[in-house]
A and B are shown apart, each in its own frame.
Chain A
Amino acid sequence: MGEHLLEVKNLRTNFKTSAGIVQAVRGIDLHVDAGEFMGIIGESGCGKSVSMMSIMRLLDDNAAVKAEKIEFDGKEMQELSRKEIRKILGNDIGMIFQDPMTSLNPLYTIGNQLMEPLMKHQNMSKARAKERAIEMLETVGINEPDKRLKQYPHELSGGMRQRVMIAVAMCCNPKLLIADEPTTALDVTIQAQIMELMAELKEKFDTATILITHDLGVIANSCTRVVVMYGGKIMEEASVEDLFYHPAHPYTEGLLRSVPGDGSGSKERLVPIPGTPPDLLDPPAGCPFAARCPKAMRICNQAPAQLTTVGADHRAACWLLHPQIKDMKGGE
């Protein structure tokens, strides 16, 4: 293929802990095309952030990453040295993290932290980097940018800091932006503003974006394609429309039932998914969702289902999609 901006095949990430080996990501395939806005959704601990951090090699030493392929922009990331990876990070790939309150170094000014990647990757002079930093702060909607440059993170509100983080991530015009729960730690009104800003920037710079979230609402408003993760595996992959209107996996259905409706005023009750996510220290042999699945079958506990095509660009990993089921139903 090769036309994808980022392509990941069979990615596995394990952590060594005192209790044993935690299998956080258990063989996932992903791809993002240039200019695409993709979402990854799942409960906390399902491996969505870890998979992204694995690709960027930002995990601690107790993590081990293995994949058949992690190709970004035509380069196999696993073959690159740390130095070469550093040339990509912050330059071709920008990242935004969950908590803007702790993501900026408290001891340096906004300007200092914003100019750092510019001077490193774009070989800009200090004066030029400062100009660009002011420009970026304006772009992300921060007023009085030249004054803000001299301020420290603690002098800014959470929303402002996340804007700064976005400016840091976007300042080198990256090909890919990874946003790891960028709005989770913010107030609802600010959340909307930040998502709006991200959509705007995507239009302006045509940056491919991966949005990691556990919030279906955020996905619905911004993404074109969505990947649903659970227990370190991909459960479903579809366009936003398909996901919301024709979910193929019981987990996706559960997720949809557990959020407030689409504003149509339906009187449907919110249904939480019972149970807790599986323990990845000792992951279940079968489908990770089997223990909580209302439609679980005996086979679900015995073997994992592989992703199966449901429709155009729509795949799901569920035994309910097995051809034998259709045969049985047809036979009745």
Chain B
Amino acid sequence: MSRYIVKRLVAAIISMFFLITITFFLMHAIPGGPFSAGERKDLNPEIIEAIRARYGLDQPVWKQYLNYMAKLLQGDMGVSYKKTNYTVNELIGLGFPISGEIGIIAIVIALVFGIPLGVVAALKRGSWADMASMIFATIGISIPTFVIAMLLMYEFCMKHSLLPTFGWGEIRHLILPVICMCLSPIANITRLCRSSMLEVSRQDYVRTARAKGVGEGSVIFKHMLRNAILPVVTYLGPLVAALMTGSFAIERLFMIPGMGRYFVNAVTDRDYTVIMGLTIFYGAFIMLCTLLVDIAYAFIDPRVRFED
């Protein structure tokens, strides 16, 4: 088990190294970066030179890279180029709790609705309940989140003014973003759960359980569901990461001051340190979630524990 975790951690660190390196050189390969002579005509050349020197931009790229890596190892991701009185770490500290809050609520709702819907659909295959949940699930995966968000916003905020379009701090501000964010996960979990329940229901061990005379409840919950839940657990890793680090579209639409909005703003502003910092944070967080999920998987499935 511990060997497995160590192996996974090493793999994650290698992936992170590549991500950071690629990001770094992509950022620096873009012609006319921030504070280059052409970019800020409002400032006179000496000031630009001074700023460049302050950020270390006057040094050769490989040296900048080494500097960045050295600082990163100490947990320092630099200062925002645009919001110069904030460090990247501070921005993450501001945005992440907000995105995380919405994300966790959305994940809980997605699991609470998605799993039962999928299970019922699989058990009552061909029934109206199956049809209804599959139609819902297809809608959920087909309509892009931002389209759903726009439609809900139009319906609840503009036509009927039931809910605020934007703002942050009260429960009513949470309702629409959470609905938008959990719809597609619910749809995906429903589909996953349905197909894996159907797959499991064909397995020999389910037949064995029935042949033992075990009650139907026990067949479904003990022998089928625990096996069927495994693909959902795998899906949960990237999902948790994506939801907790904030949806780019939702946070922009509802003007939520979360990580996703910082990232989009940074991209449109070409705020390179923030883009880099957030990319690294995303990458690391996703790998962490995947690792945690894989460990959880091993607790459900004994076959994984003994593989090195």
Contacts and interface: CB of A to CB of B under 8 A. Distances in A.
Direct A–B contact present (CB less than 8 angstroms)? yes
Interface of A: 56, 58, 61, 82, 85-91, 94-95, 97, 99, 102-108, 116-117, 120-121, 152, 154-155, 165, 168-169
A108 B214 CA distance: 15
Contact of B209 (A56, A105, A106): A105
28 contacts: A56-B211, A61-B125, A85-B213, A86-B215, A87-B213, A89-B210, A90-B211, A90-B212, A90-B213, A95-B211, A97-B204, A103-B208, A104-B208, A105-B205, A105-B209, A105-B223, A106-B205, A106-B227, A116-B209, A117-B212, A117-B214, A120-B213, A120-B214, A120-B215, A121-B213, A154-B303, A155-B306, A169-B211
B82 interface: no
A103 B205 contact: yes
Given A102-B205, A106-B205, A106-B303, A58 B211 contact: yes
B204 A99 contact: yes
B211 A86 contact: no
B216 interface: yes
Contacts of A169: 211
B218 to A, nearest CB: 8
Q: Which 6 A-B pairs have the closest CB atoms?
A: A90-B213, A89-B213, A90-B212, A102-B204, A95-B211, A105-B205
Given A82-B216, A152-B302, A107 B227 contact: yes
Interface in B201-237: 203-205, 207-216, 218, 222-223, 226-227
A168 B207 CA distance: 13
B208 A97 contact: yes
Contacts of B218: 116
Contacts of B210: 58, 89
A126 to B, nearest CB: 15
B90 interface: no
Nearest to A171: B212
B49 interface: no
A165 B208 contact: yes
Contacts of A108: 222
Contact of A86 (B213, B223, B302, B303): B213
A275 B218 CA distance: 45
Contacts of B306: 154-155
